[in-house]
């Protein structure tokens, strides 16, 4: 029996790629480099600022320059973090149906709290979320299971009765380690070399509304 549903944020609930890629390209221009195609950077968005900086500038950056670029990326992103960001198609309806079932839902993301709260406020997602756990809410972050375990406690649910939906391997690793059912958001930001079939998730979604079938089947067990 499912008692709660937890979601990753970027690439699962929100299509943040337009604004994340825009910030990356502004950083490239500042550094006297050419912008990169949206299609080249979109799959990297789930890996956050570190992944985007590496994709844009390469893996050979020294630690000091890497940190400087990440800091500047976050500044640029914070200046325009909800310009073209939207909920994925079907997410609003899915959340409404989850609420109609009387199930609490929450967000567990590695995104920093200051950015998470701002984008959720802009999109009016904060009010109904039972919990929002960010990358700096605890000492540990995904793929460590602690953020998911903490979310389950806040929702007064046992981990084994929770579903966690995410589009990155670390999401599935964290969910499995927490003892939750895990579902891959395959419509999210998955790179060409990644193989979600090997992540050992309990299932995958091509569209957010497909989660309804999981909830329906689970309610009958």
How confident is the prediction along the chain (221 residues), in pLDDT tens digits per residue? 899 999 999 999 999 999 999 999 999 999 999 999 999 999 999 999 999 999 999 988 889 999 999 999 999 999 999 999 999 999 999 999 999 999 999 999 999 999 999 999 998 877 889 999 999 999 999 999 999 999 999 999 999 999 999 999 999 999 999 999 999 999 999 999 999 999 999 999 999 999 998 887 766 55
- Whether 91 and 39 map to the same domain: the answer is no
| Closest CA relative to residue 27, chosen from 80, 76, 65 | 76
With a CB cutoff of 8 Å and minimum separation 6, the contacts of 212 are: 94, 97
On whether both 48 and 131 belong to a single domain, the answer is no
Distance CA 165, CA 167 (A): 7
Q: Are residues 30 and 56 in the same domain?
A: yes
Q: Rounded to whole angstroms, what are the CA distances from 18 to 21, 45, 86?
A: 5, 10, 9
Domain end point (choices 34, 51, 79):
79
For residue 151, the SS3 value is: helix
Coil, helix or strand for 199?
coil
Q: Provide the domain count of the chain.
A: 2
How far the first Cα of the chain sits from its last, in Å, is 6
Active site residues: 8
Same domain, 145 and 207: yes
pTM greater than the 0.75 cutoff: yes
Element (H, E) at 132: strand 131-133
Q: d(Cα 172, Cα 154) in Å, to the nearest integer?
A: 20
Residues 62 and 130 in one domain: no
CA distance 219 to 221: 6
Same domain, 114 and 48: no
- Residue 175, C-beta contacts closer than 8 angstroms, at least 6 positions apart: 6, 145, 148, 164, 166, 181, 182, 201
Check if the beta carbon of residue 182 is closer than 8 Å to that of residue 176.
yes
Domain-ending residue, one of 26, 61, 79: 79
**154 in the same domain as 197:** yes
Phi, psi of 144 (to 5 degrees): -65, 140
Q: Is the domain of 95 the same as that of 65? A: no
φ, ψ for residue 88, nearest 5 deg? -60, 150
Domain boundaries, position 52? 17-79
* Residue whose C-alpha is closest to residue 4's, from 166, 125, 159, 132: 159
């Amino acid at each position: 029996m499912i008692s709660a549903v937890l979601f990753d944020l970027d690439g699962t609930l929100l299509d943040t790629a337009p604004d994340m890629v825009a910030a990356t390209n502004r950083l490239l221009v500042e550094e006297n480099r050419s912008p990169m195609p949206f299609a080249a950077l979109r799959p990297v968005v789930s890996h956050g600022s570190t992944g985007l900086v590496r994709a844009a500038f390469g893996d050979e950056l020294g630690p000091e320059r890497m940190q400087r670029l990440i800091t500047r990326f976050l500044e640029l992103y914070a200046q325009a973090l909800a310009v073209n960001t939207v909920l994925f198609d079907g997410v609003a309806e899915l959340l409404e149906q989850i609420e109609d079932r009387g199930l609490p839902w929450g967000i567990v993301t590695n995104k920093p709290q200051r950015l998470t709260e701002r984008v959720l406020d802009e999109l009016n997602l904060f009010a109904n979320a039972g919990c929002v756990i960010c990358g700096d809410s605890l000492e540990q972050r995904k793929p460590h299971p602690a953020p998911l375990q903490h979310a389950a406690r806040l929702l007064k649910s046992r981990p084994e009765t929770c579903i966690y939906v995410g589009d990155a391997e670390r999401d599935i690793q964290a969910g499995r380690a927490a003892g939750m059912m895990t579902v891959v958001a395959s419509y999210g930001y998955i790179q060409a070399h990644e193989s979600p079939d090997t992540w050992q998730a309990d299932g995958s979604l091509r569209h957010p509304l497909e989660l309804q079938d999981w909830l329906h089947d689970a309610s009958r067990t």
